[in-house]
């Protein structure tokens, strides 16, 4: 056992070292940037040579110019802010409903038999098919957009929570039973923490769908937002605006996902899995 | 005290499980249940623990009929079954209700099972033996009067196993709990137990009850124990192996 102690303390020393100067993290970021940078370079060169026509596929520098000009006149922040707010509200509503329904259905067999067929049926409907109905019900304003996003976010989160709860190791639940836990204690102390990994998988894919549906919602009629910029770009024949919007979506989508991923790896540091080998 | 009267629990139309088990424990006695695989040892332990209440007969702890898990029962499973998201201290305090001195109490048990300095470690960083130490501490912290062990050391290497057997005896001296140990390791049963029940058949029945008349501390190489081991091997009738019945589960390792 003493050798184990030694190797453990050795390990923790290395961990501390990594935390102090983090060339490794920087390396990972650089690694991930190699291919995008190369593609940008190729795009730029092909634009300059004239392979890409300017009125169809403007060069990266022109797209960047467009973004900078929007930053300068302040319009960009307004559009981004509106889009982010929509996604935040829709995402939150979708996640809350999915967590409540998913927990009950995952835990109670009866509730699953009662509700799951219905929910699976709804899942089979492409979320965009709801658009006309939502517009009829709620008009073209904010509520129909947020509703669409919430519906899109709901399903991946719901599915992952149900399967996460049902996949909790029976042996761990038995440990709780040994201590005469009430169902509520069992859920709080065993089932929820044990299904946390699939919860995170769910909200990350939910967020991805959230971005998809916020753009869809803004395409169908909005006066602000990134999706609206896409429509404007199309109607005014300005591919630089369309590309600038797409780039913004890519950047924001990546940033929000990274934020969730950071929370995930912080909350799941106890996992002993292949992906976490250093 | 633990007492079983005509306890049966069978599955598959009575072809597996166990039947007609009777015994009464003395206070602080260590009882071994020894048998080949499939004779219902673990099922019996689940019944006594209250995890399986579909039995017939009566199981009593201090005259309380077992219908659910009794608060005076502690269990140590074959696998440590630690919560991977809790560190050692929190795993040990897992069964305690949330109260102020929970951490402090758990810390004393960290020291008791010899894990000083590992309180902040997570299960993924523990060796098999250390993890099992944590699960021993987790079972002891609620101060059980009856401690049930389901092949607790069978997944460990020979040296760790001996260390933990001695740790168990040390703790038993301190707490004087009644221990029921399910095992298929004859040496382990002889080293630890006051009384050994040998289960045989399908469904399993008590085939023989043996007292171990050697006083503690016992030597693993004790001559008396070696003789008893020969008797037990005889009783288990391992010659059936040649007749095609599988008893490969029985460990016959010789101790040094």
Contact A193 B95 (CB under 8 A): no
> Is residue A249 domain-shared with residue A143, that is, in the same domain?
yes
Range B220-223, long-range pairs (CB < 8 A, 24+ positions):
B220/B162, B220/B187, B220/B191, B220/B255, B220/B256, B221/B255, B221/B256
Residues of chain A with C-beta less than 8 angstroms from the C-beta of B75? 178
> Is residue A137 domain-shared with residue A91, that is, in the same domain?
yes
What confidence score (pLDDT) does residue A14 get? 52
> Is residue A144 domain-shared with residue A44, that is, in the same domain?
no
Q: Work out whether the CA dihedral B192, B196, B198, B199 comes out positive or negative.
A: negative
Residues of chain B with C-beta less than 8 angstroms from the C-beta of A196? 85
> Is residue A47 domain-shared with residue A169, that is, in the same domain?
no
> Is residue A165 domain-shared with residue A78, that is, in the same domain?
yes
Last residue of a domain, one of A37, A52, A67: A52
> What does the pLDDT average to over B174-192?
91
Contact A178 B74 (CB under 8 A): yes
> Is residue A220 domain-shared with residue A166, that is, in the same domain?
yes
**CATH code where residue A239 lies:** 1.10.3720.10
Q: Confidence class of residue B246 from pLDDT cuts 50, 70 and 90? A: very low
Looking up tokens 């523990």 gives B126
pLDDT tens-place string over residues B97-111:
877 788 888 898 998
pLDDT tens-place string over residues B143-174:
899 999 999 998 889 999 999 999 999 989 88
Contact B49 A178 (CB under 8 A): yes
Contact A177 B51 (CB under 8 A): yes
Closest CA to B138 of B177, B93, B79, B78: B93
What confidence score (pLDDT) does residue B244 get? 42
What confidence score (pLDDT) does residue B239 get? 62
> Is residue A83 domain-shared with residue A163, that is, in the same domain?
yes
CA distance to partner chain A, nearest, from residue B115 (Å)? 10
Question: What's the token pair of residue B189?
Answer: 């049963």
> For residues A27 and B148, what is the distance between their CA atoms, to the nearest angstrom?
52
Mutate to test the interface with B, among A4, A175, A194 (most CBs of B within 10 A): A175
> Is residue A122 domain-shared with residue A173, that is, in the same domain?
yes
Contact A172 B83 (CB under 8 A): yes
Closest CA to B250 of B186, B159, B162, B190: B186
Give the closest of A11, A174, A193 to B51, CB-based: A174
pLDDT beneath 70, residues of chain A = 1-22, 276-278
Pairing of strands B56-61, B64-65: antiparallel
Phi, psi of B117 (to 5 degrees): 90, -5
CA atoms in the 13 A half-sphere facing the CB of A16: 6
Contact B129 A1 (CB under 8 A): yes
> For residues A189 and A181, what is the distance between their CA atoms, to the nearest angstrom?
9
Q: Is A271 on the interface with B (CB under 8 A)?
A: yes
Q: What is the ipTM of this complex?
A: 0.83
> What does the pLDDT average to over B46-60?
89
Q: Confidence class of residue B71 from pLDDT cuts 50, 70 and 90? A: confident
Closest CA to B4 of B53, B66, B46, B54: B66
The angle, 0 to 180 degrees and rounded to 10, between the axes of the packed helices B102-112 and B128-140 is: 130
Minimal-distance CA residue of chain B relative to A267: B85
> Is residue A7 domain-shared with residue A66, that is, in the same domain?
no
Last residue of a domain, one of A13, A30, A52: A52
Residue B42 has pLDDT above 70, yes or no: yes
CA distance to partner chain B, nearest, from residue A188 (Å)? 12
What confidence score (pLDDT) does residue B242 get? 43
> Is residue A196 domain-shared with residue A131, that is, in the same domain?
yes
What confidence score (pLDDT) does residue A22 get? 62
Give the closest of A172, A179, A269 to B81, CB-based: A172
B204: which strand partners? B18
> Is residue A128 domain-shared with residue A24, that is, in the same domain?
no
What confidence score (pLDDT) does residue B256 get? 36
> What does the pLDDT average to over B35-42?
84
Report how many domains make up chain A. Answer: 2
Q: Taking all residues of chain B, what is their mean pLDDT, rounded to a whole number? A: 86
Cβ contacts below 8 Å, chain A against chain B, sum to: 57
CA distance to partner chain A, nearest, from residue B30 (Å)? 21
Question: Hey, what domains does chain B have and what are their CATH numbers?
Answer: 2-241 (3.40.50.300)
CA distance to partner chain A, nearest, from residue B125 (Å)? 8
User: Residue A237 in contact with residue A55, Cβ under 8 Å?
Assistant: yes
Phi, psi of A54 (to 5 degrees): -65, -35
What confidence score (pLDDT) does residue A277 get? 58
**Domain span at A23:** 1-52
> Is residue A33 domain-shared with residue A75, that is, in the same domain?
no
> What does the pLDDT average to over B57-61?
89
What confidence score (pLDDT) does residue B96 get? 87
What confidence score (pLDDT) does residue A1 get? 45
């Amino acid at each position: 056992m003493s050798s184990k102690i030694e190797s453990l303390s050795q390990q923790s020393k290395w961990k501390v070292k990594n935390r102090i100067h983090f060339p490794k993290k920087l390396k990972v970021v650089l690694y991930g940037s190699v291919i995008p940078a190369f593609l940008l370079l190729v795009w730029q060169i092909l634009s300059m040579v004239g392979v890409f026509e300017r009125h169809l596929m403007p060069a990266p520098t022109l797209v960047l110019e467009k973004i900078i000009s929007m930053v300068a006149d302040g319009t960009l922040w307004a559009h981004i802010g509106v889009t982010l707010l929509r996604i935040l509200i829709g995402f939150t509503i979708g996640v809350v409903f999915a967590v409540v329904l998913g927990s009950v259905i995952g835990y109670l067999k009866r509730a699953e038999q009662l509700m799951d067929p219905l929910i699976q049926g709804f899942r089979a409907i492409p979320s965009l098919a709801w658009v006309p109905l939502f517009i009829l019900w709620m008009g073209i304003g904010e509520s129909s957009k947020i509703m669409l996003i919430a519906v899109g976010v709901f399903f991946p989160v719901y599915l992952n929570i149900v399967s996460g709860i049902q996949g909790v190791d029976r042996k761990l639940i038995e440990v709780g039973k040994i201590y005469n836990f009430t169902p509520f204690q069992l859920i709080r102390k065993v089932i929820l923490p044990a299904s946390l990994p699939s919860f995170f998988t769910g909200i990350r894919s939910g967020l991805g769908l959230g971005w998809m549906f916020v753009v869809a919602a803004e395409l169908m009629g909005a006066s602000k937002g990134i999706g609206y910029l896409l429509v404007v770009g199309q109607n005014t024949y300005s591919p630089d605006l369309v590309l600038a919007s797409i780039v913004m979506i890519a950047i924001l989508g990546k940033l929000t996902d990274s934020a969730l991923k950071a929370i995930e790896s912080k909350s799941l540091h106890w996992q002993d899995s292949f992906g976490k080998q250093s | 005290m633990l007492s079983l009267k005509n306890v049966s629990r069978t599955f598959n139309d009575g072809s597996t499980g166990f039947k007609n088990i009777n015994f009464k424990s003395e206070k602080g006695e260590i009882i071994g249940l020894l048998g080949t695989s499939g004779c219902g040892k673990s099922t019996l332990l689940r019944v006594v623990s209250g995890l399986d209440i579909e039995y017939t007969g009566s199981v009593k702890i201090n005259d309380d009929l077992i219908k659910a898990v009794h608060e005076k029962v502690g269990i140590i499973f074959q696998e440590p079954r630690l919560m991977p998201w809790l560190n050692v201290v929190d795993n040990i305090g897992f069964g305690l209700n949330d109260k102020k001195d929970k951490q402090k109490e758990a810390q004393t048990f960290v020291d008791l099972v010899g894990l000083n300095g590992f309180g902040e470690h997570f299960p993924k960083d523990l060796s098999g033996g250390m993890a099992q130490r944590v699960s021993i501490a987790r079972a002891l912290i609620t101060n059980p009067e009856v401690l049930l062990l389901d092949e607790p050391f069978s997944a460990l290497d020979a040296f760790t196993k001996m260390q933990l057997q001695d740790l168990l005896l040390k703790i038993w001296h301190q707490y004087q709990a009644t221990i029921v140990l399910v095992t298929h390791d004859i040496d382990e049963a002889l080293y630890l137990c006051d009384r050994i029940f040998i289960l045989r058949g399908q469904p399993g029945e008590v085939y023989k009850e043996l007292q171990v008349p050697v006083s503690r501390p016992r030597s693993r190489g004790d001559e008396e124990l070696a003789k008893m081991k020969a008797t037990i091997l005889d009783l288990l009738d391992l010659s059936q192996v040649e007749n095609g019945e599988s008893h490969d589960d029985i460990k016959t390792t010789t101790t040094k």
